A and B are shown apart, each in its own frame.
Chain A
């Protein structure tokens, strides 16, 4: 993936190239840093964690990471416009439960029923995204508060649907989405690759991607340069919601059930992946490759600790430390980068 972070709207065209180049190199540095950390972790685990370096385990990690990573594609776009989406966990539960409710009474689940269930989940997610976008873009409520409200509200809805009981889906084509393979690769991993490709095209190959970076970099400047900011906000939250809905669908397929009370705090895993991946919470800076490595780093960290029988409390503490270290290192790299120019 290449970098297209430089703004088409930058007013001082003479300095554009040099600044862009400096930022480019600092972004690459971040990715290299992440990749280095990941490789180091893999090497350490390969030596000390039993059964870490097996095909079974590595594919397992990829599959477990994929649901977080898919939601993180949407979250990356949201954070790029200096927004935040706290409603992700509730939306995953809500969309997955809706899809499961559609399937639960069926005795035969064919391809068409599966496609409808996926569509229901994606639309449900997009619907929550639209609501977020409307509250933020039209009503001007800060994203943190708006999505905190939908976090609570959507969770309530999910619980209301089934009176908090999990809904099981007959095992079959639907659970293939979460647990099946095509060749050696797990299906959720392939879907994740597809979502990252769509995200890449959106952010790096389309005009709207440049506008997303521009709005995140400086919203009023972008507005003055003719970007329809409200529309863009709506689009970004709907896109993020759709990603989350898809993640919810895969999660319910994996669990062969809709879990209306599950995935509490899931948004924090997603935000952690994005932030460790180098996307700035201030907006305007970051990219999808970083998000992928961020999700993978956190996933691999947890997996190895599980294999080494490390107590769960320590896993949580170590994950916290990794997030802080990633941000601090990123800050240092960025300052070096801007000094170099």
Chain B
């Protein structure tokens, strides 16, 4: 356990270092073929140990069973510990989980951590006292969960992760966010969209939080897709912290340095919308394409008006986990990891009735 943790720390540090050095690279100017290959290798390395990319690669493989099955005729009691309820996405997680639990005839107790690791841990501890049949968790962060998860294991209560998880744990099943897949799907769309372009398309990337696994997975997977097609040139990468303000500032400086940029990638929709604000403020509205990820409701009007090209829906995974818990409690085996990528949404998809993810 100790060695594993040490390894994880080293991996995270290495990842952060890799990203930092990548960000520090001046990727301006026309890149040679060797440079592109070197960059692809760098991305591959940074994605190697990425929880979300790994989980996607192993999605559906491996099988776990629950230590106990639910006696015939008893109602399953599931505890859902969620990091907080302060964002529409999180409220959606709970609503969808509740609906699924009701459909499957289980009771779901929701305990919010109110955006605080310590409070979340309090809730998970308190819930252990009521001896539930299963624990489902969306952790604020996964550091320091070891001891309490061990207590659940000792009590023979299986635990499951939704959205965020842990590579090295004895979780029965983890349905994780498809961060890597989302970047890839968006990348494939962009490659196809520019297939007729004769000159390499100049692209700027606005990543999320520096070193954060979700941001590394989304941005890296997107960039790799573009570089492998050979039809794109990455002229700049700046962190936007997943926030509109910061992304706008990042885009302002990108526009100053590279006025000829043709496409901007936001690691989430907030980042894309921030970039769009900067583009409009610079009087370049309509000249630069924007893509984002999440499929949140405010990006839909921007896609309809043509300001934004496309996004990928980031879906809540809690209902899948509830389904797996019920399967597992009835004695069926469930896969260790599962990743279900959401749909790509462009103007055509909205016309056909696509709905926001949250």
Seen from chain A, the residues whose Cβ lies within 8 Å of a Cβ on chain B are: 50-51, 54, 56-57, 60, 64, 67, 104, 107, 163, 165-172, 175, 179, 251, 254-257, 259, 262-266, 302-303, 306-307, 309, 311-313, 316
Contact = CB atoms under 8 A, between A and B. Distances in A.
Nearest to B1: A171
Nearest to A304: B126
A242 B134 CA distance: 40
Contacts of A56: 128-129
B2 A64 contact: no
Interface stretch (B48-56, B115-123, B229-237): B115-123
Given A165-B211, A170-B1, A255-B144, 9 more contacts: A50-B130, A64-B126, A170-B5, A170-B6, A171-B2, A256-B146, A259-B144, A263-B116, A264-B115
Contacts of B123: 306
B357 interface: no
Contact of A264 (B5, B112, B116, B147): B116
Nearest to A175: B147
B2 A256 contact: no
Contacts of B126: 57, 60, 64, 303, 306-307
Given A60-B125, A104-B9, A309 B109 contact: yes
Given A254-B121, A256-B147, A306 B127 contact: yes
Contacts of A175: 147
Contacts, number: 95
A171 B117 contact: no
B24 to A, nearest CB: 15
A170 B128 CA distance: 23
B16 interface: yes
Nearest to B107: A309
30 contacts: A50-B130, A51-B129, A51-B130, A51-B131, A56-B129, A57-B126, A64-B122, A64-B125, A163-B16, A165-B12, A165-B16, A168-B9, A168-B143, A168-B144, A171-B147, A254-B118, A255-B117, A256-B143, A259-B117, A262-B116, A263-B118, A264-B115, A265-B116, A302-B122, A303-B126, A306-B111, A306-B123, A306-B127, A309-B110, A312-B111
B157 interface: no
B288 interface: no
